[in-house]
Amino acid sequence: IQIPNKSTRLNREFFARHAEDVAKDLLGRVLVFERSDRKCPVYAQLREIAAYEGKANSMSKGILYDPGILAVSTKYGKRILDIATLEICKPSCVTLVSALIGDARGKVSYVEGPGNLGEALGIDKEYDSLPINLFPIWIGGEAISADKIQQRNLSNLPNNCKGYFYYKD
């Protein structure tokens, strides 16, 4: 995992776009979680992201629809991480689905599934409704090239899902 420089940290304006555009542009970037209970940060290179726009039960309940705001919800006993997109008061977000997770010591593992990812990162409700661009959670680094992006074709997606976007090395 390429550890991002803080100068590449995404600002909240990055998220003030359509969920599908944000999802694609997040692929390959790294979520940094500088946890106070650990000596070194946790890094998650984002590998799959779902995009949602419009009201439906698939998005976090009570999410603050303000671009760049993190929503931490619980579904099936696991934490789901959503980030609001588009504009204030418009139901639109991306859901983090899978990532390559590691730390500065070099330990790396692939985590798949939005609930599994939230659990592996250890991001809990205390971070709900906080901006994604401030300490201790932020996203930085470079996106992958657009020609590597693929879209998962799932038959049972809710009508507000704009797609699941992913890439593999």
- CA pair distance 157, 162, nearest whole angstrom: 9
């599908």: which residue's tokens?
20
| Burial 47-84, CB ≥16 within 10 A → b, else e | bbbbbbbeeeebbbeebebbbbbbbbbeeeeebbbbbb
- CA pair distance 34, 123, nearest whole angstrom: 11
- CA pair distance 111, 26, nearest whole angstrom: 17
105-111: long-range contacts (C-beta < 8 A, 24 or more apart)? 105/40, 108/1, 110/47, 111/44
For every one of its 169 residues, what pLDDT tens digit does the chain have, with 9 covering 90 and above? 889 999 999 999 999 999 999 999 999 999 999 977 767 899 999 999 999 998 755 445 555 679 999 999 888 788 999 999 998 888 899 999 999 999 877 889 999 999 999 999 989 889 999 999 888 999 999 999 999 999 987 788 888 999 999 998 7
40 backbone dihedrals φ, ψ, rounded to 5°? -125, 150
* Closest by Cα among 123, 129, 132 to 13: 132
CB 113 within 8 A of CB 102: no
